[in-house]
């Protein structure tokens, strides 16, 4: 039996909270923020474990008695309301639109978590112009400046939550924005570098533990294939930096590694850290 990780357990707990809210609440509401992101099937990062609801008017409830339920009240125009249908039961669930969900998460979640959701939303087909229009309508509101930075950095070519979170570390440090999914032809075939600067041939390869867990075949063969891929890219001139989830816990050290790699290939710039987006309104 495959073990269920803490992130999966937390998602399951939130979805249980969604079912409970549907059963007991009578006032009109829409699931929103990272709860809506889960319903839409988007990647999440550092999930809060809370169930978020948005009402059109102040629900006047005792927050202390709500437990893991967080209620918001805000203007929610018709185009920003949607529904999610449970494929298994056919249950219709009220939720914010994909574009509104991206904006709410970008405004309220830590920037790396917001970017993970924004990347996934664009991959799913969210309209960037609508996202930007919703942000424009919210000008001056809390978290809007931070959200603008997150949305500006969003890229549907990202292929995993760890890749998105890594890209935020780079962008937030004021380094040149890396390009996702860079194609490279080698003696061993055609490969894609996860993130990088093709003009310098400096790349970032994001490693997730699941790659070698057996989900993608015999772990030994996966490891051999990955070594062959790595060697082929290096022989094609790439300098590769491997990044894991653990590396994201020390962003300063990760940035220092990236800067050293870029400078070794002739880059003469320097990090220009911006004001922490988590403090911006």
Q: What is the pLDDT of residues 82-139, one digit of tens each?
A: 998 887 778 889 999 999 999 999 999 999 999 999 999 999 999 999 999 999 999 9
Q: Give pLDDT, residue 12.
A: 78
Question: If you average pLDDT over residues 255-266, what whole number do you get?
Answer: 97
147 and 182 co-located in one domain: no
**Domain containing 66: what range?**
6-156
H/E stretch holding 242 reads strand 239-243
User: What is the pLDDT confidence band of residue 210, given thresholds at 50, 70 and 90?
Assistant: low
Residue 9 pLDDT class (50, 70, 90 cuts): confident
Give the per-residue pLDDT at 212: 46
The answer to the question of residue 1 being in a domain is no
Q: What is the CATH number of the domain that holds 207?
A: 3.40.960
Q: Which residue has the tokens 């891929």?
A: 229
Residue 42 has pLDDT above 50, yes or no: yes
Q: Domain boundary at 156, 191, 213, which?
A: 156
Mean of all residue pLDDT scores within the chain = 87
The Cα–Cα gap between 120 and 161 comes to: 8
Residue 277: pLDDT over 80: no
Q: Out of 156, 185, 208, pick the residue that ends a domain.
A: 156
| pTM of the predicted protein model | 0.88
Cα separation, 41 vs 216, in Å, equals 21
């Amino acid at each position: 039996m495959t073990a269920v990780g803490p992130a999966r357990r937390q998602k399951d707990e939130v979805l249980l909270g969604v079912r409970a809210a549907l059963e007991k609440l009578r006032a009109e509401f829409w699931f929103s923020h990272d709860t809506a992101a889960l319903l839409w099937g988007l990647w999440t990062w550092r999930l809060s474990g809370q169930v978020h609801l948005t009402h059109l008017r102040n629900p006047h409830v005792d927050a202390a008695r709500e437990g893991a339920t967080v209620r918001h009240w805000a203007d929610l125009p018709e185009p920003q309301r949607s529904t999610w249908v449970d494929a298994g039961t056919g249950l219709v669930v009220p939720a914010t639109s994909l574009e509104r969900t991206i904006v709410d998460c970008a405004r309220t979640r830590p920037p790396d978590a917001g970017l993970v959701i924004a990347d996934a939303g664009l991959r799913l087909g969210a309209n960037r112009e609508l996202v930007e229009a919703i942000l424009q309508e919210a000008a001056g509101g809390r978290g809007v400046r931070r959200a603008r930075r997150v949305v500006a950095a969003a890229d549907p070519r990202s292929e995993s939550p760890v890749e998105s979170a890594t890209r935020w570390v780079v962008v937030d440090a004021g380094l040149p924005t890396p390009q996702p999914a860079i194609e490279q032809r080698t003696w061993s075939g055609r490969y894609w570098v996860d993130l990088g600067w093709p003009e310098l041939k400096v790349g970032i390869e994001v490693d997730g533990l699941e790659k070698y867990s057996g989900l993608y075949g015999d772990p030994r063969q996966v490891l051999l294939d990955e070594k062959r891929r790595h060697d082929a890219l290096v022989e094609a001139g790439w300098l590769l930096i491997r990044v894991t989830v653990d590396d994201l816990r020390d962003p300063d050290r990760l940035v220092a590694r990236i800067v050293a790699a870029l400078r070794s290939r002739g880059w003469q710039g320097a990090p220009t850290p911006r004001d922490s987006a988590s403090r911006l309104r």
